[in-house]
Structure 1
Amino acid sequence: MARTSRPLRARLRRLGAVGVVIATLAWSSACAVIPVGGPFAVGEAGDNDPMSKPFQRMVAIEPQPGWSPQQVVEGLQAAMAAYADDPEILPKYLTDEARQAWKPGGPVTVLDNGAKYDESGKIGDKEVTVVISGTQVARIEDDDTYVPVSAGVDRKFTLVKDKTGEYRVNSLVGGLVLTEADVARAYRPTNLYYLNGVPGSGGANADMLVVDRVRLRLKPTESFAKTIIERLLKGPSKALQGAVENVFPHGTRVESVRALDDRVLINLSGPIDADGIFSRGLQAQLRWSLTSNNVANGRSIEVQLDGEPFYSSDTLTIEPKLPDDWLGSASNVVYYTNSKGAVYSVGHDGPGRVVAGPAGQPNGPYSDFAVITGGYATGQGADLIAAKSKAGGIWVTRAAADGHWQQWIQGASADLTAPSWHRDGTLWTYDRRNKAVLRCNPSAGRGPERIAAPSLDGFDVTRLRIARDGVRVAVTIGKHEIRVGAITGEGASTMLGNFQTLSTVNDENIMDLAWRDGEHLVVLSSSNAGSVVKEINVGDGTVTKLPSDKRLHTLAAQGERILAGTLHKNEILESNLDKQNWTAKIATDADTPIFPLG
């Protein structure tokens, strides 16, 4: 921030004289940053409070006499950062005309910390234009989603002198403009959890949680636990609307959230069915939404309805640890193909073992294998293995001695993307010739059917991957773009929608991608400098670079494990994230690694 002006320093000295203690100070021409932990009903501020997160609150002051136009704009920007906590300061930087026209709503523009101010365009001594030049790095949508952006910004502010001779902003584009530092100070990345059941079903068929990542603003008047729950009740962001179930009925309210010695007490009100049909999903949504954000860790959660026990005979208590299967159970089995196309399975450790049935035989005509374990495929005792055939179409066999290849989907091999299993046992692909998403469900007595995906119309879809939660879908467009959407509806009304661009790379070619879990994609790209491996959070686009190796050719991922096939198709490598390198997992005659689903 800019050096503090003399009037502001004098004012802060006066504030200090009357007992305001500033423990941590960051300067602007109009702001001070004071560590605030929020309301502490129980415990002390900071890490000892299980309900809140310590943060630094931006405290803005009104414009001071004698400030230059640039100082006024800097002060205005500080007032924007403090607006949610103190909306009274910002209007004092505006003329009456601008005050009437400006609206705080809409997406929040996030600029990089290196934005520069340029005072220019003077018209005599009465009108001045100040331009903030920088890079927009993101926007925060009205539904609290954080969307990465990379675009140059020249934001113009026209200032005029008021009747007292002081500069005020006369034109202001709607919405708040914050810096990365403002966002880091006042917002927290937050994971909310919804159910993978069909919306409106009450969570009856749900068996997994689906992550919805948002940016929530910390409030000095409210515990972070209450902020999380209130946002959870509003329902999913637009990325998951129509695709996940929220068991909290519309109109549910949070009356209070209190931390007691050994538990957190949540008092709700509204149209919740007190007979308990929502209890299982409610427990999962609440527990994981709180503990995944390091709130109320290690404490049981007691839920009340209108201040009374949730059930007529007992209180709904959520224990500190829920079964991990809500997040999906990861199998230790890894599959891979050898140079002749035979499929092998290998445990977490130990040598590979050829699978039973035709998939374990040399399969020269087959490629792009995908596996679903028998527990997911209804009516199938053994694992199912799908593959594209050079003769055409996608074929499936059971990994059993009596298995045989059956064609599930027709079409030229070059026109179909690699098969992708849904956790319900259906098989999906994209037909590039006919521009159609295809789903096959033989267990229901139906052949391939088209699934509507209007957001993909007119685009060159080169890959389609369904996440293990059965909700999110990733596609690649050509060689340079990744989009993520969701499966909405059910039965004949099923469609792929909610697509948003996750990543665009102009100087790299996307070689492969894999779901590590429902929240992260692992992407392998090639560039002039060699291969690039990165993990992308599909909720907010956060990119983490992973160890790379010039030998990498294909990827498979599950949980903490990431495997790669090599260009020479002679070994399977495993990523060692701690040591930032790749080591041999299968050292001889190994081509492509495969994890079930994903």
Structure 2
Amino acid sequence: MTTTRRGWVAFVLVVLVALVGSGCTVIPLSGPNTLSEPGTGDPLTKPFQRMIALPPQPTWGPEEVIKGLQAAMAAYADDPTILPQYLTPEARSKWSPSGPVTVIEDAYDFAYPSERDGTQTVQKITVKGRWAASIKEDDAYVPTGGAWDRSFELVKVADGGYRVSSLPTGLGLLLTNSDVARAYRATNLYYVSGNTPDRLVVDRVRLRLKPTKSFAQIILERLLEQPTSALQGGAVTSSFPQGTKVEYVVWREERVVVNLSRPLDPLDPSAKAAVKAQIRYSLNMNEVAKGRTIDIQVDGEPYSLDQPDTDDQWLEDGDADPYFVSRGAIQYLGKDGPAGTVPGPAGQERTGYRDFALSKDNNALVAARTSTGISVAGLTQAGQWQEVIQGDLTAPSWHRDGSLWTFDRKNGAALRYDPAGGRGPERVEAEVKLQGLDVTRLRIARDGVRVVLSIGENTVQICALAGNGAGAKLVNFQSLATTGEGERIIDLAWADDEHLLMLVESDAGQILNQINVGDGETVGVPLKDRLQSLAGSGDRVLAWSRTGSGADIKSKIVELNQDRQTWTPKVESDASTPLFPLG
């Protein structure tokens, strides 16, 4: 017989608000308690709530002990002495806090595999919850859905209480969503692109706050380590030589002082610029030290001074000009609507060309898919359409280095064509077998490193691009999104280096999601009209809306407003695909 009980037993917890440099406040033992997060005025610090768990009590039953054990796991990083008290000596010898952190939803139940009469020496109990995510050892946050059902075994001890004698195989730390929200912060770290050395690539992690260190120091210490597995293998590099350490980070009269240790070379100007950029964006993009001068020192000696609001183009500026297609001709999109056609053949009305893509603004080229392959033309009066890749291909996508990418569906390979090199398309090596996969889209992010592929109508995978030119390789394949039953992906577009737009359709209608490719965080965007395709750049999102039927079809371009809730028509008729350079 199996029974299930729901409910929270009020065992005693103490919540401590830890604020670096401002002391602490202990809440009386009446728990559980919820505290607001007061600010300290220190730009280097993030206030947080810290849980303090109690040892197991003789009067607690199996459920209270499991809840106390879970609380001790949440508090383990700050106080590792409580958790072992919940375990028998044998369980302590087998358990390790290393490995991924398991995150489940806050509410969970208990189930007993047999009838309880309160006299058993050994009690088995199953925790039944919903799996929310894993936090990997490299601090990557990976959303994970589905049921999380795991069994524990407890034994009675001399004082009448219980201890855990057996934990689920491979379980390290078990946290709830609330534990993660209380003690961790989603953090963007910035590394140097492996194929464009004057560009930064964002790497999103979850970092645990610590009462003994400022958030700024936590960020920089993690920045000196390797990126997450998604960006390893040459996709990005670091400007910090191995062995560099953070000596201290302090706030002095509106100036943030970062003191590092050697072996940084103060005479290497290119390395100095990259060091400054990595530190600036890793602090500022996490709302730490934003708007303040950052004084970077090495062993206490001046190294580099980063002034606020310096525009050095290490990241995409997000203000690319928008375009759209009307009757096969590419037109400029102005503030109030159409603003003229582009020069050359790309600005002339034609049929048989679709899935247009624009390269970077300088020496811009346009690519389009036809029934036989992909053709390219220059945006000049002298430009001519020329077929450069033949075959059954996905829509073209431009890399920021000027190369054109697509996927050869017949031969199962990513292809790269360099217009400047004058050579035919080259097959791109991949660390996984792509042949036989139903790849329907390939999109390169504007950072030139991340690549997404849609597989069939329901799955999106993300990978990274390592190496340059003909030596490029697709590495670190991971699943990013899967649609539900009866749903299919209509379009994918990069909004910026960090976010992907995914348009999904089912019999019930359409859904537009914005996905953070670093941690899978998904935000829904409300829709009014039926959409056909998307384009994004920075804060701007454009879409092709096609409504009605027959003679009443209305085909227009709409733009998502800053409220991220409503859309405004930009082109009222005869419009189709919106475009931004790259993406």
Moved more, 279-288 or 330-339: 330-339
Q: Distance in 1 between matches of 2:29 and 2:418?
A: 62
Shift of 1:324: 5.9
Do 1:141 and 1:147's aligned partners in 2 also have CA atoms closer than 8 Å?
yes
Which residue of the partner structure matches residue 59 of structure 1? 52
Counterpart for residue 254 of structure 1? 246
| Equivalent residue runs for 1:168-567 within 5 Å | 168-173=163-168, 174-198=171-195, 206-241=197-232, 242-277=234-269, 278-310=271-303, 316-323=304-311, 325-339=313-327, 341-375=328-362, 381=363, 383-390=364-371, 392-411=372-391, 415-455=392-432, 457=434, 458-507=436-485, 508-567=487-546
**Paired residue secondary structure (1:327):** coil
CA distance in 1, matches of 2:253, 2:25: 31
User: How far did 1:169 drift?
Assistant: 0.2
- Aligned AA (1:422): H
Structure 2 counterpart of 1:2: 8
**Paired residues of 2:403 and 2:418 also in contact (CA < 8 A):** yes
CA contact (8 A) 1:3 1:27 kept: no
Alignment of 1:22 with 2:26, yes or no, is yes
Check the 8 A contact 1:482/1:504 in 2, yes or no: yes
Q: Which amino acid aligns with 1:559?
A: G
* Gap regions ≥5 residues in structure 1: 13-19, 38-44, 199-204, 311-315, 376-380
Q: Percent identity?
A: 50
Residue 587 of structure 1: aligned partner: 572
| 1:161 equivalenced with 2:156 (yes/no) | yes
Q: Secondary structure at the match of 2:45?
A: coil
Residues 74-109 of structure 1, C-alpha deviations (whole Å, 9 max, x = no match): 110000000011111100100000000001111111
Equivalent residue number for residue 42 of structure 1: none
Match of 2:20 in 1: none
Give the superposition deviation at 1:34. Answer: 7.2
Deviations 1:442-479 (A, max 9, x none): 31232100001233524211000001111111110100
1:63 partner SS: coil
Matches of 1:579 and 1:429, distance apart in 2: 31
* Structure 1 letter corresponding to 2:568: T
Q: Deviations over 1:493-540 (max 9, x none)?
A: 311111211110123210001101000011111112211111000011
Give the residue type in structure 2 aligned to 1:490: N
Q: For the structure 1 residues 564 and 127, does the alpha-carbon distance in structure 2 shift closer, same or farther, using more than 3 Å as the test? A: same
**Helix, strand or coil at the partner of 2:432:** helix
Contact 2:320 2:581 (C-alpha < 8 Å) held by counterparts: no
Q: What is the distance in 1 between the residues matched to 2:543 and 2:481?
A: 21
Moved more, 301-310 or 527-536: 301-310
Residues 37-52 of structure 1: matches in 2 within 5 Å? 46-52=39-45
Moved more, 176-185 or 323-332: 323-332
Distance 1:260 1:126, change over 3 A: same
Quick check: 565-574 or 423-432, which moved more?
565-574
> Which SS does the other structure have where 2:264 is aligned?
coil
Structure 1 position 352, deviation (Å)? 3.0
1:134-154: CA deviation from partner (whole Å, max 9, x where unpaired) = 100111011101101102011
Residue 596 of structure 1 aligns with an amino acid whose one-letter code is P
**In 1, Cα distance between the equivalents of 2:301 and 2:539?**
42
Structure 2 segments unaligned to the other structure (5+ residues): 1-6, 16-23, 547-552
Secondary structure of residue in 2 paired with 1:234: coil
Deviation at 1:119, TM superposition (A): 4.6
- Alpha-carbon deviations, 1:278-307, whole Å to 9, x = none? 111111110110011111122211111122
Q: CA RMSD of the aligned region, Å?
A: 2.2
Aligned-partner Cα distance in 2 for 1:594–1:374: 12
Tell which deviates more after alignment, 293-302 or 395-404.
293-302
Which 4+ stretches in 1 moved above 6 angstroms? 32-35
Aligned equivalents of 2:491 and 2:433: distance in 1?
19
Find the aligned partners of 2:257 and 2:292 in 1 and give their Cα distance.
10
Deviations 1:261-320 (A, max 9, x none): 22111111132112133111111110110011111122211111122233xxxxx21112
Task: Say if 1:566 and 1:350 are closer, same or farther in 2 by CA, change over 3 A.
Answer: closer
Code of the aligned partner of 2:556: E
Aligned residues: 555
Q: Which residue identity is paired with 2:426?
A: E
Report the alpha carbon displacement of residue 197 of structure 1 after superposing the two structures with TM. Answer: 3.6
Cα deviation for residue 548 of structure 1 reads 0.9
Query: How far apart in 2 are the matches of 1:440 and 1:114?
Result: 52
Bigger mean CA offset, 422-431 vs 451-460: 451-460
Conservation of the 8 A alpha-carbon contact between 1:531 and 1:549:
no
CA offset digits 1:26-49 (Å, max 9, x no partner):
846xxx7778x8xxxxxxx72411
Tell me which residue corresponds to 1:78.
Answer: 71
Tell me, what secondary structure is at the counterpart of 2:384?
coil
Change (3 A) 1:384 1:114: same
**Structure 2: how far apart are the matches of 1:298 and 1:26?**
42
- Deviation, 1:4, is 2.6
Structure 1 pair 319–187 and aligned structure 2 pair: CA distance change class (3 A): same
Which one-letter code corresponds to 1:511 in the other structure? I
Question: How many Å apart are 1:120 and its aligned residue?
Answer: 5.0
Amino acid at match of 2:354: S
The 3 A distance-change label for structure 1 pair 214 and 397 is same
Letter in 1 for 2:207: L
Kept after mapping to 1: 8 A contact 2:191/2:203: yes
Following the alignment from structure 1 to structure 2, what is the Cα–Cα distance between the partners of residues 244 and 164? 56
Deviation, 1:566, is 2.3
Q: Does structure 1 retain, via aligned residues, the 8 Å contact 2:320–2:537?
A: no
Q: Match of 1:114, SS? A: coil
Q: Is the 8 A contact 1:33 1:58 kept in 2?
A: no
TM-score, with structure 1 as normaliser: 0.89
**Counterpart in the other structure of 2:138:** 143
Give the secondary structure class of the aligned counterpart of 1:284. helix
Q: Distance in 2 between matches of 1:164 and 1:558?
A: 64
Contact 2:122 2:155 in 1 (8 A): yes
Residue 125 of structure 1: aligned partner: 120
